[in-house]
Structure 1
Amino acid sequence: MQSPDPPASNAQLAGSSGSAEPVRSVQEVSTLIEQSAHDLRSSLNAIQSWAYVLDRAFDTTPAPAQRALDGIRSGMQQQLALIEEMEEAVRLLADESPPRWQQVDLRALAIQAIADRRQAAEARGVLLSALSADGSIWPVPPAAAAAVTAPGATDAVAAYCVDGDAARLAPLLRHLLVHCIWRAPAGGAVSVHLFSEPDYVKLRITESPSLDSQRSASRLAALTDFFGRRPPQAGEPPSRQSSALLLTRRMVEMHGAVLSAESDGCDSDKVSVCIAVRFPRHMRRP
């Protein structure tokens, strides 16, 4: 008597039905991201190498050629930074592990995010101001250990503490800051503000006023629709936003916070677009 055939594996069953089994392992997703990023970097590194060769090919590089080479190098650095951001964003979006709640000092995380992305701002010629917390400037980042409130913390630190997942909050702030830096024109400015309220801590990132007031108005409308997950009106194409904002929206919603687009400035010709996040001080436990 023959023994019955062993049960088909999930992969075999998926193959027989003509559809692939969805990837559910964060590790598999991470491997795919790393390989894709490696492939992208390889091409960029080859371009950088050729730019280096061309730069050394002339005793005195003609001005137009030098500007072109400088533009290539700047573009390559920006693309490499974008790939790094993409790696982290996709990995975080694929991570469905439950949050690890703890008391987190948003001021410390915001200061560190500014320090981490200052070089990116300088590369684009964008002024990234020091953090303003209720009007006070905080130019010196505290020790990393101060990001989590310890017993006996001062009232100044507690003023900006919220329930949060530190592993997700830190990249949320970095990616949101990067988005605003990339949106800012050369010579523009980006500033970060924190406001302490009884029930929440408000983070606000302000961009330089646009030269075109209509662009500011359309950006405010697009951000408002995106943050509110509003479907496009009949006949309108869906608003496309950066991967940084996609990550930000998910991380913000995970923390029970609220994203909004605001305007700053009474002069209709000089309206600054602001992205605000209101983080509740305490998460509502199920």
Structure 2
Amino acid sequence: MTTSSAGTTGAQPVLSGFAVSERTAHLRAETALFMRDHVLALVSHDLRGPLNAIHSWAYVLERKLDANDPNSQRAVTGIRNGVDQQVKLLETIVDATRAETKSLALACASFPLHPLVDETVAEVRSGLARARGVEVTVESRLATEQLNGDRERLAAALWVMLTFAVEASTEGAVVTLATHADATRWHATVTFNQNASALDDPSLPHLLEAFARKQASEPREAKRIAWVFALCKRVAETHGGDFEQSDAPESETATLALHVPLSAPAPT
């Protein structure tokens, strides 16, 4: 089992009733940025389908209605114009807002995995886990394995997974990180007993946004992740890997899993 005791330096901002390191504050901001981008992408995707259908049905109605009836033709024109305005809003506001973060550039270099795990676990332990009275344990089979990828991005993804697990755990609970590398991939799996009350209780210390914690407790469509894991998903997929979030009934074991190739794909 791996244990870590890496400390933090610099000023200690106060957030949600407890002091956090500057790095934790940075990771929290990064999580929120990726979540905003993820939500905007969902809005853009989910609105375009219905808008396209409305636009198509407007043309069907136009052919069915009396061409000499000005009121009917005005109504159909109004429907089409309304759809065009909504599409323009998506393009000029939603898509434009996502433009800078739509592609994720990686600063790839070779680095050992073991220290990355130790440092990230230490950050979570010394901050939120200590404040919440939650234990974070590590079951590591890592030795000297190296990964060629963006160390900072991967550490951020692991931090989000552990932080959410701590936020969703009651006092005295245990969050477990199991990690190993095979011939081609690094695997990191976080298991915990998800508790909706612990996730939403405003009297407890929190790092994640309240609306994100609330949304994470709601039913999800097939294959969609909770918004809060947008950073994990983007980082994993950009490295050529994947991120998984399991569903679990209240107070039963939930799982978050990150699988990343030991060598990130070359940028295209």
Q: Which residue is equivalent to 1:241?
A: 227
Correspondence for 2:18: 77
Cα distance in structure 2, aligned partners of 1:284 and 1:118: 32
Please state how far the C-alpha of 1:107 moved relative to its aligned partner. 2.2
Please list the CA deviations of residues 65-122 of structure 1 after superposition, one character each: whole Å capped at 9, or x if unmatched. Answer: xxxxxxxxx9422899986543233567766563121122222111111111112101
Separation in 2 of the partners of 1:270 and 1:277? 22
Cα distance change, pair 224–110 in 1 and its aligned pair in 2 (3 A): farther
Within 5 A, what are the aligned runs for 1:1-286? Answer: 75-77=16-18, 85-90=27-32, 98-119=105-126, 120-129=128-137, 131-134=138-141, 156-158=143-145, 161-208=146-193, 222=220, 225-227=223-225, 241-242=227-228, 245-262=229-246, 271-285=252-266, 286=268
2:223 maps to a residue whose letter is D
TM-score, with length taken from structure 2: 0.52
- Report the TM-score, using the length of structure 1 for normalisation: 0.49
Name the CA distance, whole Å, in 2 between partners of 1:112 and 1:263: 28
Please, which runs of 5 or more residues in structure 2 have no aligned partner? 1-12, 38-99, 198-215
1:12 corresponds to which residue?
Answer: none
Q: Does structure 2 conserve the Cα–Cα contact (< 8 Å) formed by 1:223 and 1:261?
A: no
The root-mean-square deviation of aligned C-alpha atoms, in Å, is 3.7
How far apart, in 1, do the equivalents of 2:217 and 2:169 lie? Answer: 13
Once the two structures are aligned, what percentage of the paired residues are identical?
A: 16
- CA-CA distance at 1:176 after TM superposition: 2.0
Moved over 6 A (4+): 78-82, 218-221
Question: 1:223–1:279: structure 2 CA closer, same or farther, 3 Å change rule?
Answer: farther
Deviation at 1:199, TM superposition (A): 1.6
Cα deviation, residue 248, structure 1: 1.7
Give the secondary structure class of the aligned counterpart of 1:273: strand
- The residue identity in structure 2 corresponding to 1:77 is F
**Shift of residue 208 of structure 1?**
2.6
Structure 1 residue runs without a partner (length 5+): 1-40, 46-73, 137-155, 213-217, 228-239
How far off its partner does 1:172 sit? Answer: 2.0
Residues 269/252 of structure 1: CA separation in 2 closer, same or farther (3 Å cut):
closer
Structure 2: how far apart are the matches of 1:219 and 1:200? 30
Q: State the 1:226 CA deviation.
A: 2.3
Helix, strand or coil for the counterpart of 1:226? coil
Q: Which amino acid aligns with 1:183?
A: A
Higher relative contact order (CA 8 A, sep 6+): 2
Letter in 2 for 1:247: L
**Cα pair distance change 1:223/1:171, threshold 3 Å:** farther
Residue of structure 1 equivalent to 2:41: none
State the match for 2:201 in structure 1.
none
CA contact (8 A) 2:236 2:242 kept: yes
Question: Contact 2:168/2:196 (CA < 8 Å) preserved in 1?
Answer: no
